[in-house]
Amino acid sequence: MEMTSIIAARDLVKRFGSFQAVKGISFEVEQGHCIGLLGPNGAGKTTTMRMIMGLSTVSGGTLEVFDIPVGAMTRGIKSKIGLVPQESNLDSDITVSENLKVYGRYFGLAANVIGERVPRLLEFMQLHERAESRVTQLSGGMKRRLIIARALISDPELIILDEPTKGLDPQARVLIWNQLLELKRRGKTLLLTTHNMDEAQRLCDRIIIVDHGEILDEGSPRDLIDRHVLGHVFEVGKPLPAALNGKHWEHEDIGDAVLFYVRSSDDFVAGLPDSADFIQRPANLEDVFLRLTGRKLREN
């Protein structure tokens, strides 16, 4: 069966003056899937999301959402997208339920539709007890939940989430993950960015790793791990045992230790002397991420 693409980007470019934030990327987001956009800060993730929302003009290439170029997006199409931005832009002076009611009006929803959806969404994000609280009285986790509830007011088919669990405690994170998985079960399409690899691995069917405005690789979490870090990681302290020199294991020097990526741990261990100092663990998405995007800090 042919998959329906909800988002289709071809050679998508975004320029800010002479700086190219997105350098001709192509990707698709299929209906009913959760796609993760992963990359270090400044990789072009938020810019890409803003272009999908029509909040930023496209400098080159094409970008279609629901088969319509973003530049020609109609109100009907816009209503099918819910955005969870990275920074809170809730109305902090009014209450939780007022935030949802006000937002519903932007979609032109009738008062009775809004009135029926607000309690349901508050219940869904477990905010019903705080319906009449002012936003200023909410914790960070509650604010994030409210932003997600707000993005759902128009019952969108596509939900775009920019770091939905940024800065939250594990309890709040788990609640959000469960509700996002529930949305996926209901057939919603999700596109999310995150720096939490555990989150990406749990939620995403497919992951697109971007850096410096380019796609480095994409695939399911399992495929990516298989392709780049094989399955097992051995962190071996320096100096390396002589037995490892000259053998052609996939490896990466990280300073005071070397990481070896191996498919079969038995083969690797067999070649090590008993005195070797190493840590062994299953390879995960974080290994893939660091291998592809490098270990240098990005804050500069």
Q: Which is nearer to other proteins, 78 or 128 (CB)?
A: 78
Q: Collapsing DSSP states into helix, strand and coil, what is residue 177? A: helix
Q: How far is the CB of 204 from other proteins (least distance, A)?
A: 22
Q: Which is nearer to other proteins, 85 or 221 (CB)?
A: 85
Q: How far is the CB of 57 from other proteins (least distance, A)?
A: 5
Q: How far is the CB of 87 from other proteins (least distance, A)?
A: 6
Strand partners, 15: 20
Peptide bond into 170 cis (omega under 30): no
Distance CA 173, CA 167 (A): 9
Q: Which is nearer to other proteins, 81 or 203 (CB)?
A: 81
What is the binding site for other proteins (CB under 8 A)? 16, 53-57, 75-76, 78-79, 81, 83, 85, 87-94, 98, 101-103, 105-108, 154
Q: Which is nearer to other proteins, 106 or 250 (CB)?
A: 106
Q: How far is the CB of 83 from other proteins (least distance, A)?
A: 4
Q: Which is nearer to other proteins, 46 or 293 (CB)?
A: 46
Q: Which is nearer to other proteins, 107 or 177 (CB)?
A: 107
DSSP state at residue 2: P
Q: How far is the CB of 274 from other proteins (least distance, A)?
A: 59
Helical spans, DSSP H, in 53-203: 75-78, 96-106, 111-124, 140-151, 170-185, 197-203
End-to-end CA distance of the chain: 46
Taking the mean position of all CA atoms in its chain, how far away is CA 273? 41
Using CB atoms within 10 Å of the CB of residue 104, give its burial: 0 to 12 exposed, 13 to 18 middle, 19+ buried.
buried
Q: Which is nearer to other proteins, 76 or 255 (CB)?
A: 76
Q: Which two tokens stand for residue 41?
A: 């800060």
Q: How far is the CB of 207 from other proteins (least distance, A)?
A: 24
Buried b (16+ CB within 10 A) or exposed e, 159-173: bbbbbbbeebeeebb
Q: How far is the CB of 260 from other proteins (least distance, A)?
A: 46
Q: Collapsing DSSP states into helix, strand and coil, what is residue 138? A: coil
